[in-house]
Amino acid sequence: MNIPGFDYHRVPVADDVSLNVAVGGSGTPLVLLHGFPQTHLMWRHVAADLAADHTVICPDLRGYGDSDKPADTDGETYGKRAMAADAVAVARAFGHDRFALAGHDRGALAAFRAGLDHPGVVTHLAVLDVLPTLDMWEVMHGTLGVVGFHLYLMAQPVGLPERMIEACADDFFGHFLDAWTQDPGAIPAEVRAAYLRASRAAVPSVVADYRASAFADRAHDEADRAAGNRLRMPVTVLQRDWGDVLPYDAEALWGAWAPDLVHRTFDAGHFVAEERPDVVTGALRDLLTRR
């Protein structure tokens, strides 16, 4: 499936890694990074709206969708540092040395890392419904681990989680599409099928992405926290109101990383770009006016 009106390209971003990228519109550039267990299609409503006055660039992350899925040889191949560098390379391939960046879920973690690693490149940063990796691991204690069971499963050594998930891939990935959605109609049957098809073909790389968050990504966040590194650009965080399910102060956690922060909670499921595209497009337009 494609986003109507968008052109598609294969973009080399690193040695032996090319990404599937949808591009539409014209104007100031905005890169949108998708989450789990999805592809760039999650941005279909938001991207079409924003393409009226922006160049909107929507890649499939490495390891997802129709992008390449290199073998993870060092625990860093699917680290968010690599994915952040991919986003920078994609934008440059279309002539943009500086750009705004928004991400959801896994893509939000890559966007966060891009903001820290490439502060002169990312002009504005939007994050949808995650915590920074380090903070996530620090607040996920006790029975909260039930909510995030997949984080622990996919952090296990190579082999076991891959085999377990491949044995029931559609049930595994479908669980999150169902459990995390407040409005099931927001993900139509054909889009859901596309997500499941893409995820089922990407189990090793999806697991490697999550495994990297338990080790490489967490270590990178720890180093930045110790060094006092912060996000220098205007930042907007959209966070689902989890209530008593995940009792933490998300605004305070994000505020420690982002001095210029707008934090908003919303009434929707996790997949806010599909359930409430009006909220996301409005928040992004507001963000892009900040200096």
d(C-alpha 175, C-alpha 37), whole Å: 10
96 an active-site residue? no
105 an active-site residue? yes
d(C-alpha 243, C-alpha 246), whole Å: 6
d(C-alpha 56, C-alpha 28), whole Å: 8
Which runs of consecutive H residues, i.e. helices, occur in the chain? 44-50, 80-93, 106-117, 133-139, 144-147, 149-153, 160-167, 169-179, 189-200, 203-214, 216-227, 250-255, 272-275, 277-288
Residue among 34, 54, 104, 270 flagged as catalytic: 270
Residue among 49, 72, 105, 221 flagged as catalytic: 105
**CA-closest candidate to residue 283, choices 115, 129, 86:** 129
54-59 and 17-24 beta bridge pairing: antiparallel
Amino acid letter, residue 274: E
Catalytic positions, please?
105, 270
